[in-house]
Amino acid sequence: MDVRTVAPAGQQADVVAMADEVVRTFLHVRDAFVRLDPAPLDEAARLARLLHRQEQALIHRMVQAADGSSAPAAGLDEEVIFVPMHLERVADNIELLGASVGRMIRDGILFTDRATGEIRRLFATVLELLEGLRDALRTGNRTLVRYIRDAGHAAEAQANEFALFHEQRLIEGVCEPKASSVYLAMLDQLRGIEWHARQVAEKLGTGSLPDEPYA
């Protein structure tokens, strides 16, 4: 599937704009975590609500462009609508990540230095993936598509490794249960963001999508 044909004519700019909003939303959540400042989360929540509305409106326009009517999206080819659908799933996970960061800040939950460093590394890795996805959708660059697929697998492996490190910290008693639940939630949410970004690249590169393990 050509990366420049992920939407009907005239809709491509809307898809790219949605991907750009995803990056901006993620940046606000990252900034809240890094600075331990809840202020950026308000803007992240606003952008996430906007993304949900954009996805619904974009799919509706795609349906109308496909058959000239207001028929339900169920009859539309998945190859036309999969990008905004996955971008909205990314936004869902960013919203959940923002809630986890907000809980950490609000409740004064402290991570170990190692756990903080691990989450920061995943934030940086996932940000690169989201920026690469946005640029691939804008330019049609297949090198970026391959990068997203390969880097996504590497990010998943990294998150799984961090989960093992965390388990060891629990065994050693250096991580409190309350901090553990928030840390594991963040790992899962960052994995969810990565997974949905990678599915777009998988579809662009192979023309098929695997079954979805993430909501």
Rounded average pLDDT over 101-106: 97
**Two tokens at 179?**
């901090």
Q: How confident is the model at residue 68 (pLDDT cuts 50, 70, 90)?
A: low
pLDDT above 70 (res 43): yes
Residue 180 pLDDT: 93
Please give the average per-residue pLDDT across 128-153, as a whole number: 91
State residue 10's pLDDT score. 54
Place of tokens 């799984």: 160
70-99, pLDDT tens digit by residue? Answer: 444 443 445 456 788 899 999 999 999 999
Q: Is residue 32 part of a domain?
A: yes
What band does 191 get if pLDDT is binned at 50, 70 and 90? very high
Q: Is residue 213 part of a domain?
A: no
Q: Is the pLDDT of residue 189 over 90?
A: yes
Give the pLDDT score at 57: 76
Cβ atoms of 148 and 132 within 8 Å: the answer is yes
184 inside domain: yes
Q: Which pLDDT does position 206 carry in this prediction?
A: 59
Inside any domain, residue 186: yes
In a domain, 178, yes or no: yes
* Mean model confidence pLDDT for the chain: 84
Rounded distance between C-alpha atoms, residue 75 and residue 66, angstroms: 10
**Residue 63: per-residue pLDDT:** 63
- The CATH number given to whatever domain includes residue 160 is 1.20.58.220
Domain count, the chain: 1
- CA 133 to CA 22: how far, in whole Å? 10
In Å, how far from its chain's centre is CA 198? 9
Instruction: pLDDT band for 107, please (50, 70, 90 cuts).
Output: very high
Q: Is residue 6 part of a domain?
A: no
In a domain, 166, yes or no: yes
Which residue range forms the structural domain that includes residue 183?
12-206
Percent of the chain residues past pLDDT 70, beyond the cut: 80
Q: Are 204 and 115 in contact (CB under 8 A)?
A: no
Q: Does residue 185 fall inside a structural domain? A: yes
pTM: 0.84
Neighbours of 168 (CB within 10 A): 10
Q: Average of pLDDT values for 116-122?
A: 96
pLDDT digits (tens, 9 = 90+) for 146-187: 999 999 999 999 999 999 999 888 888 888 888 999 999 999
In whole angstroms, what is the distance from residue 202 CA to residue 215 CA?
Answer: 18
Query: Rounded distance, CA 2 to CA 86, Å?
Result: 17
